């Protein structure tokens, strides 16, 4: 359709520009989100929740980590509302600025010894703001990338935002690996703050890139035709309830696995297995580097064979791997432990790689930002948000045995298998793109 101003089709931006614009912002967002996760496992318990039992302090720190996830569906609903009404680009800039500012402020917070209970209270507030902004980032980035994609390439294009969720954590782990070289007193007093303060520099890069983005053609055409939804989140809940619930279930398994690997396993590896913090962080960073291959591979594969076969295969593998993960870690063999972390961080790739395109294709453009954000972020609350706390609690209740955590991972994987199996396929043959009416009909049928 011609643009309202010129009568010509909008120029489609280059692949590299879209990849960088959607990926770099998401990388910055997930850098901010991940360094909080790492700090929850290694420093926040002592700095903000002092206790005679270190495990209690860690539990409380992981509880604040989960608080950020509680805010994510609300952030997704708000960002989705304005993203579906005002534009994808506008909300991507807002979410990135909000996240970076809250992260920078965490780096400045006095600890419990300095201001008492105000320290954890302010930490929780900053975490809520982080969660709120992260709630809109993933949906906005994936929808922007997918809507810029040519027919048959939506899976691959959507993976560029997913790569940002891997690159960001890699940067976060690298930052904590560097400050981890400090002696314990320096790390405890000021070293842990540096990764949080560095978010200011990353924000400058992200703003430069995102302010130069173009709005997607689908949103521009929708707005010019007057098809903007008045209350997109409510329309999603009313029109796509079954799709929304199954989307939530699809996210739970990979989110649980990834955030247990990021947080609980870091504490488990250092305190139970005797690895140094730096060694375990380096192993995790190596594992995440494989995402640069596995995510685009499975995403592109979904363009050829369909979203459901790839995602369902990944979920089934997670059921099996749940029983192998901790036995592999417990060998304390460097090579086996590294392999376990590589599998933990890459076995979810068949799910979260194609998921960007799949979830975007389930909703028509007028409610797409809202639908994608609500499904993914609610799934993250029930998956990754609860995972560190529940894993630590199960570990303690089981007499510091990992087998209750293994059972927990297996149950979440089964939930995702059932949820993905119930979602409609959105790839038509090899075109990789159903028209809007097909997507809408498939979604309604699934309800």
**What element of type H or E holds 11?**
none
Q: What is the pTM of this model?
A: 0.79
7 located within any domain? no
Task: Using DSSP, state whether 1 is helix, strand or coil.
Answer: coil
Q: Please give the structure tokens belonging to residue 182.
A: 């400090």
> How is residue 366 annotated by DSSP?
G
360 located within any domain? yes
pLDDT at 55: 66
* CATH code for the domain of 38: 1.20.1250.20
Query: What residues contact residue 48 under an 8 Å CB cut-off, 6+ apart?
Result: 60, 61, 64, 111, 112, 119, 120, 123
CA 111 to chain centre: 28
Q: In the block, which residue shows the tokens 């396993």?
A: 265
Instruction: Tell me the C-alpha to C-alpha distance, in Å, between residue 241 and each of 47, 375, 422.
Output: 43, 10, 13
- The per-residue pLDDT for range 238-295, each reduced to its tens digit, is 999 999 999 999 999 999 998 898 788 988 998 889 998 788 888 988 998 999 999 9
pLDDT at 416: 97
When divided into structural domains, the chain yields a total of: 1
Q: Please give the structure tokens belonging to residue 444.
A: 């309604």
- The per-residue pLDDT for range 24-49, each reduced to its tens digit, is 777 887 788 778 877 877 788 778 87
pLDDT at 130: 85
pLDDT at 31: 87
pLDDT at 4: 39
Task: Using DSSP, state whether 190 is helix, strand or coil.
Answer: coil
Q: Within a 10 A sphere around the Cβ of 419, how many other Cβ atoms?
A: 22
Supply the range of the domain harboring residue 231: 15-446
Distance separating alpha carbons of residues 49 and 65, to the nearest angstrom: 13
Alpha helices in 148-261 (DSSP H): 154-179, 184-189, 194-197, 199-210, 217-224, 232-239, 241-259
What share of the chain has pLDDT > 90, as a percent?
39
5 located within any domain? no
Q: Please give the structure tokens belonging to residue 194.
A: 């540096």
User: Which residues, given as ranges, of the chain have pLDDT below 50?
Assistant: 1-11, 429-447
Cα–Cα nearest to 216, from 436, 446, 21 = 21
pLDDT at 436: 40
> How is residue 150 annotated by DSSP?
P
8 located within any domain? no
Task: Using DSSP, state whether 69 is helix, strand or coil.
Answer: helix
1 located within any domain? no
401 located within any domain? yes
Distance separating alpha carbons of residues 230 and 220, to the nearest angstrom: 16
Q: Please give the structure tokens belonging to residue 132.
A: 């709120």
307 located within any domain? yes
Tally: H helices and E strands in the chain: 23, 0
């Amino acid at each position: 359709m011609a643009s309202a101003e010129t009568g010509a089709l909008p120029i489609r931006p280059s692949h590299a520009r879209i990849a960088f614009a959607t990926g770099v912002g998401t990388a910055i967002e997930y850098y901010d989100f991940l360094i909080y996760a790492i700090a929850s496992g290694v420093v926040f318990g002592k700095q903000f929740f002092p206790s005679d039992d270190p495990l209690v302090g860690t539990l409380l720190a992981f509880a604040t980590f989960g608080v950020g996830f509680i805010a994510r569906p609300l952030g997704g609903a708000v960002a989705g509302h304005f993203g579906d009404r005002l534009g994808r680009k506008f909300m991507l800039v807002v979410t990135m600025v909000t996240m970076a500012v809250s992260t920078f402020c965490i780096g400045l917070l006095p600890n419990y010894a300095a201001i008492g209970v105000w320290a954890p209270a302010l930490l929780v507030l900053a975490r809520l703001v982080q969660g709120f902004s992260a709630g809109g980032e993933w949906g906005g980035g994936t929808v922007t990338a997918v809507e810029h994609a040519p027919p048959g390439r939506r899976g691959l294009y959507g993976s560029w935002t997913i790569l940002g969720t891997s690159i960001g954590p890699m940067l976060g782990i690298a930052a904590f690996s560097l400050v981890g070289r400090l002696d314990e007193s320096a790390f405890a007093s000021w070293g842990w703050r540096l990764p949080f303060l560095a978010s200011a520099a990353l924000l400058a890069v992200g703003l430069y890139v995102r302010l130069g983005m173009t709005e997607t053609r689908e949103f521009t055409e929708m707005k010019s035709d007057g098809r903007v939804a008045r209350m997109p989140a409510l329309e999603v809940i009313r029109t796509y309830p079954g799709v929304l619930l199954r989307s939530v279930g699809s996210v739970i398994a990979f989110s649980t696995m990834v955030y247990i690997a990021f947080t609980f396993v870091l504490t488990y590896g250092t305190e139970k297995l005797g690895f140094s913090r730096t060694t375990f962080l380096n192993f995790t960073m190596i594992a995440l580097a494989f995402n640069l291959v596995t995510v685009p591979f499975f995403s592109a594969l979904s363009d050829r064979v369909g979203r459901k076969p790839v995602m369902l295969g990944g979920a089934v593998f997670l059921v099996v791997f749940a029983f192998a993960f901790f036995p592999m870690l417990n060998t304390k063999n460097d090579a086996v432990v590294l392999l376990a972390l590589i599998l933990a961080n890459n076995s979810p790739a068949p799910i979260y790689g194609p998921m960007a395109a799949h979830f975007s294709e389930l909703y028509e453009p007028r409610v797409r930002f809202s639908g994608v954000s609500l499904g993914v972020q609610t799934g993250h609350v029930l998956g990754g948000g609860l995972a560190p706390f529940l894993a630590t609690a199960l570990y303690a209740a089981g007499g510091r045995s990992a087998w209750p955590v293994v059972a927990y991972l297996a149950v979440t994987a089964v939930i995702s298998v059932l949820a993905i199996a119930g979602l409609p396929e959105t790839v038509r043959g090899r075109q990789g793109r159903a028209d809007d009416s097909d997507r809408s009909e498939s979604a309604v049928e699934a309800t």
